[in-house]
Amino acid sequence: MVSPSIDSGQACRTIIAGTAYPTGLGIFKNFISGFGLIQAKSIFQENQVKYYWRVVVEMWNIRMRASQNIESQEIHISGAEGIFEENELSKMLGIYLKRALNHSRGKPDKIYFTIENFKQIPIKISPLIIKNLICNSPKEARELITERLLNLNITKDAILHAFSIIDSNKTMRGAAIISATKVLRFDPNIERGIRVSRLGIDRESDRKFNRILKRLKINNSRVKEALTLASKVAYHVDVKAELCISDDPDYTTGYIASKELGYLRIANIKNSGDRKGGRIFFINEGADIFELINYLEKMPVLVNFENY
């Protein structure tokens, strides 16, 4: 048996993504101590078993949702979330509160905050590669989206289904999950959709992420959060692609994303002033919907930019 050692970041990421534990060590996998979470991890490397021990700082998930009551209906105004260390909580609560109170969709009359401590170690994943597409009009953007999605074997019917959900007058809080081949929708509550949750940026790589976005002249929280979400969604084996059009009337850049496409930002995806928008996930035939929804809503995921 090899003695415990501190691993390199790369090896650790591989393990967190799901390498097996040797029998007998399982009980030491994660446990809570006065320091936070302690992980004992192992990998098989060149026929050797290596053991890794590390202290993981306790993490918190903040979720914010703001709404307005119009004619006895709760209308979605804005939402945001992230994974943070305890010492960042009050700063982030202030930032989210400010955002909720100053959204172009209107003034909320209810703001909900959920602040949750994790007992589960987040999976660490790599982000999608960012690309930009210049489109001059929403019509051109939709043609381009259609072409790219058809190339991923998403059918024309499924693409038109996605646009019809976006174009409907109801703004969902969450995303719609639809078939990539047929006109079928799977999320159980279509008024609400699925809210992708428990996701954030790995603090170890946050500075690098900021540098990359600064170079691309898109260093703002909206892009950061959208890329983080798109990376979590695309990581699931049964998600073929995502289409996102902001429901913010002032924001006219959207994206399509997938493992193959990366994060493809599309300018002029809608006209300024248009309040319609939404997120659509195209999924494979035969996907386990219950498992997929559980992953999207409940599984903590951190995006790490070290290898970007």
- Residue ranges in contact with ligand PML by CB under 6 A: 222-223, 226, 244, 246, 248, 251, 253-255, 265
**Where would I find the H helices in the chain?**
9-16, 89-101, 138-151, 156-167, 206-215, 221-235, 289-298
Q: What angle do CA 226, 37, 22 make, to 5 degrees?
A: 100
Closer CB to ligand PML, 67 or 246, in the complex: 246
HEC letters along 62-73: EEEEEEEEECCE
Taking the complex as a whole, the smallest distance from the CB of residue 228 to ligand PML amounts, in Å, to: 11
Angstrom distance (rounded) from CA 200 to CA 161: 30
Note the maximum CA span of the chain: 67
Closer CB to ligand PML, 21 or 251, in the complex: 251
Closer CB to ligand PML, 128 or 287, in the complex: 128
Closer CB to ligand PML, 198 or 265, in the complex: 265
Angstrom distance (rounded) from CA 269 to CA 108: 26
Taking the complex as a whole, the smallest distance from the CB of residue 54 to ligand PML amounts, in Å, to: 33
Taking the complex as a whole, the smallest distance from the CB of residue 104 to ligand PML amounts, in Å, to: 10
Nearest to 268 by CA among 104, 134, 145: 134
Taking the complex as a whole, the smallest distance from the CB of residue 70 to ligand PML amounts, in Å, to: 20
Integer Rg of the chain from CA: 20
Q: Which residue number places its CB atom closest to ligand PML?
A: 246
Taking the complex as a whole, the smallest distance from the CB of residue 266 to ligand PML amounts, in Å, to: 9
Q: What angle do CA 43, 236, 224 make, to 5 degrees?
A: 95
Closer CB to ligand PML, 184 or 223, in the complex: 223
Taking the complex as a whole, the smallest distance from the CB of residue 281 to ligand PML amounts, in Å, to: 14
